[in-house]
Amino acid sequence: MTETRRIQLHLGKCIEDLDKLYNVPDLKSKRATLLCKTAQKLFESAEEARAKGDEEYSYVYYMKYLRVIAFISKDKEYLKDKNYFNNMLGPKNPNKAIDAAEKLKISLIERYAKEQKAKRLMDIQENELIKQKIDENRKKAMDTIAAEPPPPTGLPGPDEVTIKSDQLYTILKNGKLKVMILDARPGKDYINSHINHPACISVPEECISPGQSANVLEQNLPSASRPVWAERASSELIVMLDWSSTTVIPGKPLHLLKTILLKWDIKVQYSRQPVALWGGYEDWLLKYPAFTTNPQAIPPSQDIMLDDMLGEIDYPNWSDLNPTPAVSRPISSEPVIDRASKSAAVELYAERSRNMQHILEQQELIADTSLTLEMQRIEAEQDWEKIRQQGETEHRDELRAMYQLREQEIISQLMQLENKQFDMEQENQSLREKLEDYQRREREEAAKLAESIARSHLAPSADNEATAREREAAARDVEAKRARIAAVTAQRVSLDRQREALETERKRKLAEAREKQKPNYKEEDTESYGSSTESANAALNRSQSSPNIAKVSSDEEEPVVPSFDRSTKPAKVAPSSELRQRDFEPVWADVGRGLTGLKNLGNTCYMNSIIQCLNNTAILVTYFCNGQYLEHVNRSHSTRGAIAEELAAVVRGLWSGQYRFIATKDLRNEVGKHQRTFRGSEQQDSHEFLTILMDWLHLDLQFSIKPPLKENLGASERAWHEYTKSKESLVLRLFYGQIKSTVRCCVCATHSATYDSFSNLSLELPPHASRCTLSDCLKLYLNGETIPGWNCPNCKDKRDAVKKLDISRLPPVLVIHFKRFYLDPKEYCNAFRKRQTYIDFPLENLDMRQFSLNCPGNPVYNLYAVSNHYGSMEGGHYTAYCKSSVYGKWYKYDDHLVTEISPSEVKSSAAYILFYTSCER
């Protein structure tokens, strides 16, 4: 097809938009004959669209066709008479569809990229034309009113680039103009002190860089600054300031900020160009200290301020100057020596040396551990390659199932090893910074010690010689450790290269295997269609780092469980509910209570992780295992109590202690009936699943309570009972809390409070931070933010207001979610990225009193479960770390594998959802 025959793109803006369109509904109820006809129509539609030049529709139809073909190849009717159905489908059509889909995807990706680039160029050109017209109109208007004197508004003239503090103060006090103040000092200086004006926001110096667009800058701003920044187009005057500048110097933050606003703020036009505050915040602080948040502001370091001033000065060479005459000393037979200062200096140096030794030992340990992890990754990838090849060549179902299970284990292990290595590198970076600090101090103290000894004019004494020997020995030890670290690091780099070579070779073999595994209808391979389709998908969408677990297995490829001779085993019954029999496909083993794993049914690790966390919530387990929940099952809700019943059956199976792992097909099918998102075999978000599951369980297990007298209740309690409507549940009482949102007018201080319930707290992470604490995230969540244009009921007008969140009701089980996934503004196709921030959270004694409003109950929590996410958006894996209420130990639940872990392993950069309890366990 030539370029000229292709019609314009119209279905989406990127290839991900098309990937959402080729999902097919559940086909289990359809006969193979009807599916073959459907597949043939889809193929014909794809060919027709391709002939017309509509690449998008052609790609979608081809992918739908391949999905239907993959399903047909697993159908029982197809397996009975392959030749008949192959003739219906056309023997060459699947291969043709795979090749066509790949070519179309490559073509579409290129076309989308060109279109996005062209669109950006058009936007820039359009913006330039708009600015040009505005400049022309402005010149005409200036020519018209040139003879008329300007009105006394106090505003700087159109050609002025600065405004003085007294002018700005007059404008702010007058209050008739909408003024925005952009404080371009470092973020910490703004927090310490800034102009007391509602529209004064921090645009941190560290966030401003050359070539940046206004959109990218907005994403880097503090969350409190973004609402005000969004109103910049309607501002009548924009004032920029730093600490002390009197002009806008090219290359400096104020000039860069002004360039971003005037040239790279697409489709936002300003009534006048931004001006700089003459003399900066220093001049304002001197003249109007009462109009600041902190009059006792600390000036920036003089070293930083003098860098530019002293950069061109040539300093004299000290060797060229005459030495200062020595201070005369009293003549005596022995020189006067301050031995106290010398011994203190020696002791301080020894302490510095010990600290350096400790850091180097830690670095050596991290280097050894990192090397071990790298070797384990290479071994795991080699095992994975071997298992994959054996699984592909094995025709017996029971061995294929075993190989697939082992493959899932190795892929999970690879992702976790990669995450541990990332955490080690972060810790090593922190130690490296500490070491540099100690080395700097060591040099300073050594210089002072040498100067002290030089002044003494003494010959080297015995203690001096001993000290020198000790220092030499310590230096040799430090150098030996550094050499050891360097050797281990070099070995790890070599292993990195080896692993990359293995990965390249493995990809080459996969490509060759894919060519060999295209559908061949003459062979008696039951996976002929399915394997080709999966290979096509693998070629079309592949994870960039670890093996893409999203492509490992699917619901249609469920392996058959091997059959065993159970005549030698005691009779056992699979877990079931009182209402109906369930097939949990149990694998028998004598394990501890609550230490049973969950089989991965095709990317259901997100579900398994949440179920295991809930399965270690002691009160909930007792409620399900003793049958008390049956008294509260609510049949009037849309799920008719089925979600609660299926989860209860799973919990009883997990706590029977007689299964190594079980499958949750019934629970998964029931969840899929009521939420389309969880029907397929694609990876989903565990936080989304948890939030929906909590709501379902609450509605499934509701019971009525006697409504209290509203006149006897406070505002928080009244809002709580209005939310529950006298319908409560154990899930509500355990997991649900309440947030108070207070909006306060910045002019008259009138405030309005509302209350909302939550089943988990979803916390933002501090931007641009590689490490933070749970306390940092909670403070960021509860900090006040400015809301412009709030309708004040007292002022009867739109006012700037401050919104503040507080926890007004703490639940017994506190669930905390970290927002690790974010929309990357640098990507054209709304791509999501993951933050690998390491968050330090306490395992015990999390005190929530500082974050709540005198809530009743116990505000001190202990951690008992963590849902972890490894990998990225393209390919990820979930596990759970849970502390057993029976054994008091931590265990890792990795789908069907359950192993004991050390408490020191619980904290990692993979932590995604935390489960805390204030109840006795």
Active-site annotation, residues: 605, 877
H or E element: which one contains 897? strand 897-901
- What the block records as the tokens of 589 is 């083993």
CA dihedral 911, 915, 917, 921 (to 10 degrees): -90
Query: What does residue 794 show for φ and ψ, rounded to 5 degrees?
Result: -90, -45
Backbone angles phi, psi at 744, to 5 degrees: -120, 130
Distance CA 187, CA 189 (A): 5
DSSP letters for 705-721: -PPPPGGGS-HHHHHHH
Could you tell me where the DSSP H helices lie in 53-92? 55-72, 76-80, 82-89
Distance between CA atoms of residues 109 and 13, nearest Å: 10
> Measuring CA to CA, how many Å separate 840 from each of 417, 883, 910?
20, 18, 11
The alpha carbon dihedral of 482, 485, 491, 492 has a sign of negative
What number of other Cβ atoms are within 10 A of residue 803's Cβ? 17
Beta bridge partners of 870: 877
Report the C-alpha gap between 57 and 45 in whole angstroms: 9
Query: Rg (Cα) of the chain, in Å, rounded?
Result: 35
**Who's near 456: CB < 8 A, 6+ residues apart?**
335, 337, 342
Give the CB-side neighbour count of residue 457, counting CA atoms within 13 A.
5
Cα(651)–Cα(632) distance, rounded to whole angstroms? Answer: 17
Cα–Cα distance measured from residue 671 to residue 668, given in angstroms and rounded to the nearest whole number: 5
Structure tokens at 907: 């904290």
- Return phi, psi of residue 750, to 5°: -65, 135
Spatial distance between the Cα atoms of 354 and 362, rounded to a whole number of angstroms: 12
Q: Can you name the residues that pair with 241 across neighbouring β-strands? A: 183
Side-chain half-sphere CA neighbours of 424 within 13 A:
20
- The answer to whether the beta carbons of residues 806 and 742 sit under 8 Å apart is yes
| CA nearest to 547, candidates 380, 306, 367 | 380
Q: Which residues contact 558 (CB under 8 A, 6 or more apart)?
A: 601, 602
Residue entry with tokens 């590689």: 770
Please list the alpha-helical segments (H only) found in 457-588.
462-516, 528-540
Question: 843 vs 608, 892, 902, CA distance in Å?
Answer: 22, 15, 12
Residues 6 or more apart whose Cβ sits within 8 Å of residue 658: 572, 586, 588, 589, 590, 591
Burial of 414 (0-12, 13-18, 19+ CB in 10 A): buried
Q: CB within 8 A of 852, min separation 6: which ones?
A: 806, 807, 808, 810, 859
Rounded Cα gap, residues 41 and 142, in angstroms: 68
How many residues belong to the chain?
Answer: 921
Residue pair 824/769 in contact (Cβ under 8 Å)? The answer is no
CB 236 within 8 A of CB 178: yes
